Amino acid sequence: MRMTFRWFGPDDPVPLEHIGQIPGVGGIVSSLHDVPPGEAWTRDGLERINGMIRGAGLRWDVVESIPVHEDVKLGRPERERWADAWCRSLELVGAMGIPVVCYNFMPVFDWTRTELAMPMPDGSTALAYDDEALRRIDLSNGTGDLPGWAAAYDAEALGALLEGYRSVDNERLWDNLAWFLERVVPVAESAGVRLAIHPDDPPWPIFGLPRIITDGAALERVCRLVDSPMNGVTFCTGSLGADPANDLPAMVRRLPGRIHFAHCRNVRVTGERAFHEAPHPSRFGSVDMRAVLGALREIGFDGPMRPDHGRMIWGERGRPGYGLFDRALGATYLQGIWEGLGGAD
Cβ proximity of 63 and 100 under 8 Å = yes
**Is 180 strand, coil or helix?**
helix
CA proximity to 328, closest of 339, 341, 314: 314
Whether 69 sits among the annotated catalytic residues: the reply is no
Ramachandran region, residue 257 (left: φ > 0; alpha: ψ -120 to 50; beta: rest)? left
Set 69, 260, 276, 309: catalytic member: 309
Set 71, 215, 308, 326: catalytic member: 308
Cβ proximity of 83 and 180 under 8 Å = yes
Whether 18 sits among the annotated catalytic residues: the reply is no
Cβ proximity of 112 and 273 under 8 Å = no
CA proximity to 322, closest of 5, 1, 2, 33: 5
Distance from C-alpha of 308 to C-alpha of 126, rounded to nearest angstrom: 13
Set 129, 165, 322, 333: catalytic member: 322
Whether 236 sits among the annotated catalytic residues: the reply is yes
Cis peptide before 282 (omega within 30 of 0): no
Set 69, 198, 276, 280: catalytic member: 198
Whether 309 sits among the annotated catalytic residues: the reply is yes
Three-state SS annotation for 274-295: EEEEECCCHHHCCCCHHHHHHH
Whether 87 sits among the annotated catalytic residues: the reply is no
Sheet with 115-119, side-by-side order of all strands: 115-119, 125-130, 274-278, 266-271
Set 236, 260, 264, 280: catalytic member: 236
In one letter, which amino acid is 87? Answer: C
Non-local CB neighbours of 297 within 8 Å, separated by 6+ positions: 338, 341, 342, 343
Set 69, 260, 263, 276: catalytic member: 263
Quick one: DSSP state of residue 135?
H
Cβ proximity of 165 and 185 under 8 Å = no
Whether 198 sits among the annotated catalytic residues: the reply is yes
At residue 338, φ and ψ (nearest 5 deg) are -60, -45
Which residues are catalytically annotated?
A: 198, 236, 263, 308-309, 322
